């Protein structure tokens, strides 16, 4: 009788253990992770040291950037001249001119409806229901900082770039736009940073925003990003669009609209639009963009001035849509 009782006890514990294992496995396989990036290796988007110099076929420098430069990347400069990279050797690249799109042409870019050109229909409806526009903002490289202000280019866990993103958020809020600014950290600054930030943007997109902005700073000589706008010293801004995104055209259309409006309101603010080989998580949303605000060799306050100006252009676009 005692042996039978022990047998039942053992059977009970075996069943209990099986249930616990099954529950654990279900939790692993049924939990929905953030969608995996279309491209991970290619999203290692910048040099760890130094910068690339891109010249035209006459040897004239058209861009210096810490972004990784690859053949077939494109650059639309401040004058809307479109270049394509045809050769890369070390940290030097050669680009040829594709076409010239004058500012007037860019401003007269064929206007489809807001939903068609920039937003999925469900997000447009949601925005209308809210009564005002909504933007989500985050930073993939949360360590990025400005040397003249902080003494170093990287501050893991508390990078100056978070302040820049915060200034853009506050500017938009002051202009009547709803903003969710995530300060989620994605350190270290490595090849997996975009995979970590993908979880952040996936969560933010549940809010059905009108746009999603990833705020960065470039690595390049300061003269590449210093200018004067409306009599004030400021950093410049470059928009980055991912070529590996199969729906890239929607994101590019949106980038062109922003540049055109910024060129109209604050001439000289925009450095241009760079089309790099990566997705930068932009495959998740048609109005997801990456902004490079200044370089590590300029002061933080000039980067904050830049995003205040950028906020004006964004507000103007939202008011027209």
Alpha-carbon distance of 67 to 251, in angstroms, equals 19
Alpha-carbon distance of 184 to 191, in angstroms, equals 17
Q: Is residue 84 part of a domain?
A: no
The DSSP string of 41-73 is: GGG--B-SSS-EEEEETTS-EEEEESBPP-TT-
Q: Span 255-262, mean pLDDT?
A: 98
Q: Is residue 183 part of a domain?
A: yes
The dihedral region occupied by 176, where left means phi > 0, alpha psi between -120 and 50, and beta the remainder, is left
Q: Span 185-203, mean pLDDT?
A: 88
Average pLDDT, the chain: 84
- Looking at the fold, whether 135 and 270 belong to one and the same domain comes out as yes
Alpha-carbon distance of 275 to 75, in angstroms, equals 6
Q: pTM score, two decimals? A: 0.80
Tracing tokens 């993103």 back to the chain, one arrives at: 165
Q: Is residue 45 part of a domain?
A: no
The answer to whether residue 104 scores a pLDDT higher than 60 is no
Q: Is residue 271 part of a domain?
A: yes
- Looking at the fold, whether 154 and 248 belong to one and the same domain comes out as yes
Q: Where are the beta strands (DSSP E) in the chain?
A: 52-56, 61-65, 74-77, 81-89, 92-100, 134-138, 178-181, 211-218, 226-229, 232-235, 237-242, 270-276, 288-295
Which of 26-35, 71-80, 141-150 comes out lowest in average pLDDT? 26-35
Q: Is residue 94 part of a domain?
A: no
- Looking at the fold, whether 110 and 12 belong to one and the same domain comes out as no
Give me the domain span that covers residue 1: 1-31
Q: Span 215-242, mean pLDDT?
A: 96
Work out whether strand 74-77 and strand 61-65 pair parallel, antiparallel, or are unpaired: unpaired
Alpha-carbon distance of 122 to 4, in angstroms, equals 63
Residue 121: pLDDT band with limits 50, 70, 90:
very low
Residue 123, pLDDT score:
46
- Looking at the fold, whether 109 and 2 belong to one and the same domain comes out as no
CB-CB neighbours of 100 under 10 Å:
11
Q: Is residue 214 part of a domain?
A: yes
- Looking at the fold, whether 27 and 103 belong to one and the same domain comes out as no
Domain count, the chain: 2
Residue 12, pLDDT score:
61
Select, from the ranges 101-115, 123-137, 143-157, 281-295, the one with the highest average predicted confidence (pLDDT).
281-295
The rounded percent of the chain whose pLDDT value lies above 70 is 74
The answer to whether residue 83 scores a pLDDT higher than 80 is yes
CB-CB neighbours of 199 under 10 Å:
15
- Looking at the fold, whether 103 and 201 belong to one and the same domain comes out as yes
The answer to whether residue 242 scores a pLDDT higher than 90 is yes
Q: Is residue 256 part of a domain?
A: yes
Q: Is residue 202 part of a domain?
A: yes
Alpha-carbon distance of 134 to 189, in angstroms, equals 28
- Looking at the fold, whether 2 and 136 belong to one and the same domain comes out as no
- Looking at the fold, whether 117 and 20 belong to one and the same domain comes out as no
- Looking at the fold, whether 201 and 286 belong to one and the same domain comes out as yes
Q: Span 128-137, mean pLDDT?
A: 78
Work out whether strand 232-235 and strand 92-100 pair parallel, antiparallel, or are unpaired: unpaired
Alpha-carbon distance of 176 to 68, in angstroms, equals 36
Residue 17, pLDDT score:
65
């Amino acid at each position: 009788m005692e042996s039978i009782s022990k047998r039942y006890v053992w059977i009970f514990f075996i069943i209990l253990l099986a249930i616990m294992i099954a529950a654990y496995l279900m939790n692993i396989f049924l939990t929905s992770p953030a969608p995996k990036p279309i491209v991970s290796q290619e999203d290692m988007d910048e040099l760890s040291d130094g910068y690339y110099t891109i010249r035209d076929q006459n040897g004239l420098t058209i861009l210096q950037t810490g972004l990784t430069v690859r053949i077939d990347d494109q650059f639309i400069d401040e004058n809307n001249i479109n270049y394509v990279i045809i050769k890369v050797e070390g940290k030097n690249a050669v680009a040829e001119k594709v076409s010239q799109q004058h500012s007037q042409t860019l401003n007269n870019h064929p206007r489809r409806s807001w939903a068609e050109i920039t937003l999925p229909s469900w997000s447009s409806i949601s925005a209308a229901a809210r009564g005002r526009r909504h933007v989500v903002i985050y930073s993939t490289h949360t360590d990025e900082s400005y040397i003249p202000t902080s003494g170093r280019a990287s501050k893991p866990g508390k990078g100056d770039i978070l302040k820049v993103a915060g200034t853009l958020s506050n500017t938009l809020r002051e202009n009547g736009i709803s903003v969710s600014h995530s300060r989620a950290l994605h350190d270290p600054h490595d090849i997996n940073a975009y995979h970590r930030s993908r979880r952040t943007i996936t969560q933010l997109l549940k809010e059905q925003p009108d746009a999603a902005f990833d705020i960065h700073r470039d690595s390049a000589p300061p003269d590449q990003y210093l200018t004067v706008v409306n009599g004030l010293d400021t950093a410049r801004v470059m928009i980055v669009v991912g070529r590996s995104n199969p729906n890239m055209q929607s994101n590019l259309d949106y980038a062109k609209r922003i540049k055109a409006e910024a060129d109209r309101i604050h001439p000289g603010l925009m450095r241009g639009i760079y089309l790099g080989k990566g997705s930068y998580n932009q495959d998740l949303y048609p109005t997801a963009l990456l902004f490079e605000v200044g370089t590590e060799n300029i002061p933080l306050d000039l980067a904050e001035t830049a995003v205040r100006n950028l906020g004006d252009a964004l507000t103007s676009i939202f008011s027209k849509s």
